[in-house]
């Protein structure tokens, strides 16, 4: 039976959003309004990744440092490298909206390169967490302790934050994992099942939503009630 993985699902969502942003920014033919949109999307990304690092520092790393200090030290070094890449992307994003129209193509490409530098650094960080930190925790912590980490994080989130977390993650997950998560969320909201399912599925593509309803054994009309 698979053990509790503190990283897998959220990291899959992060990868999907980073890759999508890079593809869309790379193909963008920007005007002034578009420049502001993509600048804000890049700033939103670094805000999200910094907040994620803070969550890990608060909820995961105390246990990791206690049980596997060498792995914790490796992640600390990764954070320093990431901070520099985040700062460079932020600077490039903030400069983009004020760029003269004739200079926008080169400025957009500069932002694209800064974004991909973040992605490259962040992918290495995710790999370290998934192949070094998580195995170290599996070796040195119990399932109960890992579940307690999850429980503490969930308790720290407001209802709106928890919904946003799931909406960001669900499109990137395999169908079976998506159905398990959504089923748990729906069962945890007695009397609000219809609204909960509708709220959770707003970020899914139509084929993903149809597969989810099939996996849950629900007709689409049930899921769309009370929208």
Q: Would the pTM count as exceeding 0.75?
A: yes
**Percent of the chain at pLDDT above 90?**
83
Residues 12 and 95 in one domain: yes
Q: By CB neighbour count within 10 A (0-12 exposed, 13-18 middle, 19+ buried), where does 198 fall?
A: middle
pLDDT recorded at residue 226: 45
Q: In this predicted model, what pLDDT tens digit does every residue of 188-198 receive, in sequence order?
A: 888 888 889 99
Q: How many domains does the chain have?
A: 2
pLDDT recorded at residue 144: 95
Q: In this predicted model, what pLDDT tens digit does every residue of 38-59 receive, in sequence order?
A: 999 999 999 999 999 999 999 9
Question: What residue numbers bound the domain in which 21 lies?
Answer: 8-152
- Secondary structure tally for the chain: helices H, strands E: 12, 0
Q: Average per-residue pLDDT in the chain? A: 92
Residues 139 and 166 in one domain: no
Q: Does a structural domain hold residue 199?
A: yes
CA contacts within 13 A on the Cβ side of 61: 16
Size (the chain), residues: 227
């Amino acid at each position: 039976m698979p053990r509790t993985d503190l990283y897998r699902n959220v990291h899959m969502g992060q990868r999907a959003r980073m890759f999508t942003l890079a593809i869309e920014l790379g193909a963008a033919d920007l005007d002034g309004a578009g420049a502001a949109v993509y600048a804000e999307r890049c700033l939103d990304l670094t805000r999200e990744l910094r907040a994620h690092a803070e969550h890990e520092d608060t909820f995961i790393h105390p246990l990791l440092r206690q049980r596997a200090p060498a792995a914790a030290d490796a992640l600390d070094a990764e954070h320093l490298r990431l901070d520099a890449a985040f700062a460079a992307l932020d600077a490039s994003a903030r400069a983009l909206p004020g760029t003269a129209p004739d200079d926008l193509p080169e400025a957009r490409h500069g932002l694209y390169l800064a974004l991909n530098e973040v992605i490259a650094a962040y992918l290495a960080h995710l790999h370290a967490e998934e192949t070094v930190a998580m195995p170290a925790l599996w070796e040195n912590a119990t399932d109960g302790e890992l579940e307690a980490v999850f429980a503490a994080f969930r308790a720290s989130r407001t209802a709106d934050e928890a919904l946003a977390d799931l909406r960001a993650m669900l499109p990137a997950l395999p169908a079976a994992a998506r159905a398990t998560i959504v089923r748990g969320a729906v069962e945890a909201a007695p009397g609000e099942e219809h609204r909960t399912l509708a709220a959770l599925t707003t970020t899914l593509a139509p084929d993903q939503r149809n597969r989810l309803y099939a996996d849950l054994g629900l007709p689409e009309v049930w899921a769309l009630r009370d929208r």
